[in-house]
Amino acid sequence: MKEIIYYLIFINLFTFIVFGIDKYKAIKNKYRIKEKTLFFLAIIGGVIGAIFGMKIFRHKTLKPSFKYGIPILAVIEIILIIICITNK
């Protein structure tokens, strides 16, 4: 169980940082991180980092796929966590 908690902390911090890097690159008109990569990070457990990255960096907040997709992923991940915890 400790390993899962450490993983979730790491992947969420990493996802948050990647959202910040992509926002920086957007401002500087540099090569961007693919949206598929941002979504992949959210799917593999970094959805909280993605939400904070979107809010704090004001990044991808107007794109419908992120505006609605990331919160839907958050709900799904919360449900999965609850299922895992209650099935112990």
Stated pTM of the model: 0.88
The pLDDT value given to residue 29: 93
Which residues of the chain, if any, have pLDDT below 70? 88
What letters, b where the CB count within 10 A reaches 16 and e where it falls short, cover 60-73? beeeeebeebbeeb
Structural domain range at position 74: 2-86
The pLDDT value given to residue 23: 94
User: How many structural domains does the chain have?
Assistant: 1
Rounded CA-CA distance 58/64 in Å is 14
The pLDDT value given to residue 88: 66
